[in-house]
Structure 1
């Protein structure tokens, strides 16, 4: 399908994506359902096969899958500019809501609130659920379990700005060696209106930022570069949905003192209550650190990897899915990400949340509500806040 780049088409994309950004509750899987209903079934902008291929590509890449699918649909409709407009419409409502919440919450003393301890325990349950699902899919054999274990050990014992990037690079090399005989995907090809040259530039920028930002951070000691690096790196390492970014962000900003544990969990609860991608939680953190300007900078930094990857991968997707070498390297990277997330789950989430037997018991209840009773995340958050308040008064 040839893109239609007109003012009318761009305005239409903005209106529809903004409406989705205001009404899409329920996380990335629900978002994909909303997109399918709007773009495939109702408006017929793309067909079922193209939509399925686009979803497969975005699940294959790190980053917020639903946001990347929205970008891809915008690209199909109106080129790269259409992708940018689609992204802004879907993301901006929750970004603004969380920046406003951050500015309001700093006016109150929430340090000793019982509901915050409850939200800490919610984080334990939600992230544990996400990691278990990822481990089942991404580390099914002994080789990948070993890669995850090594990544866990290194990132837990050596907590620096370089350890995560180094582990990812080594895991990619290990995956290339161990899994280079993986079969390709022989499904029918599909075409996006982006040149391979433009895609190569985007992929080059993705890796350049990932490698050079930690170096610039150490050399300059500038706060805004350090902040941009932390959000960019967190956005680059997330597979499996927005909840998985929580431990990465907490490790980056709570132990360093940029954001208090109480403020962090208050924002996490708010992020569960707004529509749109959970990655917009970064807007809240940025606003806590440096006002609304920090919120916008954080949003740009955490979504930039996803944007560069989807624009970079689209013109190469047909070749990537059939390239056994690339698939093998990514299998190693995916396994390492599981180890990195388990490491971050232990410290600081577990160590700052499970302080007594009652905390562990409450975490088990919340985990069961989420996993076995399959209640939506906002119910878990509300239960955690009420339960934390009750426990603080009783014990």
Structure 2
């Protein structure tokens, strides 16, 4: 959904970048750990105005979702007492409609010849039947290799290679090491602020190693804070409520870190709960920013080579296949998926996006109102 909205706004309406540039950036961010849609938007800002605009773009992008999810960490105990789940009854089928539309639009942009079609088909089947975090990077590599069997497409780049600035990667590595050492020191000596320190280390590590998007991040957080902890930091019902709400809020799914951070530190008082929201937001998005700004100049140099240029076609085809599989899997995860109202919600969402110019937030609000009334 984010890709489609960015294509419509930044390519078709504002013409900040070309369609080919957007596809290239989208292919590139799939190779990195972290929040792909956030990295994609950050790079659009970087291409338009350099590092400063990239950082401002990132902050404006994550702020609404992180604030909302942080506030929700204060409301979750109240919501446990008051059943308002019926308001969100159409959120999942609506999300299926959004994802189906995204896959449809991306298909039209990325699938241009039989080779990319069969790469997409293979990625769809493998993603559907093999649900593992390793599938995503493995398919990206496989798609880039397969698309290189054709020798017909040769890049035509006139821009010169840019020097690589190692400062961002050095800062990323230093923070990673220091956070890990401080966390171990705080745990071993049982210092009073060990939980906030460990919280930052956890989220920074998650943001540095997560491939496959928000669903993988949610799984890792659930294991870290609910299942694996000797004393769970929150109940499974509270965590799953937050995981459901982040799907309904606008912005990146990685903003669930704000909610989880607040919940982890809620026992230390409201001030620390707010601090937990801030730590979660900074810790999860900082690695994405540092990694994408470091590797993008390298990518600009590499993409001029024929092998890398052809690989991008395969990567984009794999992304389409994963989106199609995700659409099917999300639909199958709805307990009442074959109820006629859920089926209608999926179809209506798709048709509204395809045939009208109604903004996405209006569609979301409309389905929330339907859930409340029906």
Tell me the TM-score normalised to structure 1 length: 0.63
**Of 1, 6, 25, which residue of structure 2 is paired with 1:58?**
25
* Corresponding residue for residue 142 of structure 2: 170
Preserved contact between residue 67 and residue 87 of structure 1 (Cα < 8 Å): yes
How far did residue 132 of structure 1 move?
Answer: 0.9
* Corresponding residue for residue 118 of structure 2: 146
Preserved contact between residue 155 and residue 304 of structure 2 (Cα < 8 Å): yes
Trace 1:110-259 onto structure 2 (pairs within 5 A). Answer: 113-176=85-148, 178-186=149-157, 188-189=158-159, 195-196=163-164, 198=166
What SS does the aligned partner of 1:160 have? coil
Matched, 1:86 2:65: no
Provide, for residues 41-77 of structure 1, a one-character-per-residue CA deviation record: whole Å limited to 9, x for no partner: xxxxxxx8xx6697676355333333222234453xx
Alpha-carbon distance in 2 for matches of 1:340, 1:288: 27
Alpha-carbon distance in 1 for matches of 2:241, 2:332: 15
Preserved contact between residue 118 and residue 389 of structure 1 (Cα < 8 Å): no
Preserved contact between residue 139 and residue 318 of structure 2 (Cα < 8 Å): yes
Alpha-carbon distance in 2 for matches of 1:268, 1:36: 27
* Corresponding residue for residue 43 of structure 2: 68
Preserved contact between residue 73 and residue 259 of structure 2 (Cα < 8 Å): yes
Preserved contact between residue 144 and residue 335 of structure 1 (Cα < 8 Å): yes
Alpha-carbon distance in 1 for matches of 2:92, 2:135: 26
Alpha-carbon distance in 2 for matches of 1:250, 1:355: 26
* Corresponding residue for residue 67 of structure 2: 97
Q: Which has the higher contact order (CA 8 A, sep 6+)?
A: 2
Alpha-carbon distance in 1 for matches of 2:59, 2:203: 25
* Corresponding residue for residue 230 of structure 2: none
Distance 1:169 1:295, change over 3 A: farther
Trace 1:328-339 onto structure 2 (pairs within 5 A). Answer: 328-339=310-321
* Corresponding residue for residue 287 of structure 1: 258
Matched, 1:383 2:366: yes
Distance 1:100 1:313, change over 3 A: closer
Distance 1:333 1:88, change over 3 A: closer
Preserved contact between residue 121 and residue 359 of structure 1 (Cα < 8 Å): yes
Alpha-carbon distance in 2 for matches of 1:230, 1:224: 10
Matched, 1:269 2:251: no
Alpha-carbon distance in 2 for matches of 1:254, 1:134: 31
Distance 1:112 1:374, change over 3 A: same
Distance 1:282 1:389, change over 3 A: same
Alpha-carbon distance in 1 for matches of 2:325, 2:246: 22
Provide, for residues 325-347 of structure 1, a one-character-per-residue CA deviation record: whole Å limited to 9, x for no partner: 10111211221122222222222
Preserved contact between residue 173 and residue 329 of structure 1 (Cα < 8 Å): yes
How far did residue 383 of structure 1 move?
Answer: 1.1
Segments of structure 1 that go 5 or more residues without pairing to the other structure are 1-25, 38-47, 206-221, 238-244, 272-277
What SS does the aligned partner of 1:333 have? helix
Alpha-carbon distance in 2 for matches of 1:91, 1:296: 17
Tell me the TM-score normalised to structure 2 length: 0.66
* Corresponding residue for residue 308 of structure 2: 326
Alpha-carbon distance in 2 for matches of 1:141, 1:190: 30
Alpha-carbon distance in 2 for matches of 1:158, 1:227: 27
Alpha-carbon distance in 2 for matches of 1:145, 1:314: 30
* Corresponding residue for residue 183 of structure 2: none
Preserved contact between residue 124 and residue 363 of structure 1 (Cα < 8 Å): yes
How far did residue 246 of structure 1 move?
Answer: 6.6
How far did residue 232 of structure 1 move?
Answer: 5.6
CA RMSD of aligned residues (A): 4.1
How far did residue 320 of structure 1 move?
Answer: 4.2
Aligned residues: 311
Distance 1:92 1:125, change over 3 A: closer
